[in-house]
Amino acid sequence: QSALTQPPSASGTPGQRVSISCSGGSSNIGSQTVNWFQQLPGMAPRLLIYNNNDRPSGVPDRFTGSKSGTSASLAISGLQSDDEANYYCATWDDSLNIMLFGGGTKLTVL
């Protein structure tokens, strides 16, 4: 069902910067804002980024979001072991009138 495409996996070593992409279309990412979520094993997702690049209070500034055209990205700098989690992008689709989630990216900290 995912109309938002994410790479299934990403990895990095502690201290590195990693980036996760999210590709969509003109009726979703191209015209709406993007959320990014972090999901630790066995936990509910947590909002990391809203409005493409804003962080809720309590989210470290190591997490940054960006959007260009019909794609969005989440960058994590100063990678830490507890960043190991699944990351999801999401946005509204104007044509389908539904919320879309990406397929998720499993981040491994080597």
Partner 1 sequence: QVTLKESGPALVKPTETLTLTCTVSGFSLNSIRMGVSWIRQPPGKALEWLAHIFSNDEISSSPFLKSRLSISKGTSKSQVVLSLTNVHPVDSGTYFCARTTRMHDILTGGYHSYDVDFWGPGTTVTVSS
Residues at the site binding partner 1, with contacts judged by CB under 8 A: 1-2, 31-33, 35, 37, 39, 43-47, 50-51, 56, 88, 90-92, 96-104
Please state the closest distance from residue 23 (CB atom) to partner 1, in A.
15
Please state the closest distance from residue 53 (CB atom) to partner 1, in A.
12
By beta-carbon proximity to partner 1, the closer residue of 71 and 91 is 91
By beta-carbon proximity to partner 1, the closer residue of 13 and 58 is 58
Q: Which residues of 47-82 are buried (b: 16+ CB within 10 A; e: fewer)?
A: ebbbebbebeeebeeebbbebeebbbbbebeebeee
Q: Phi/psi of residue 14, each to 5°?
A: -50, 135
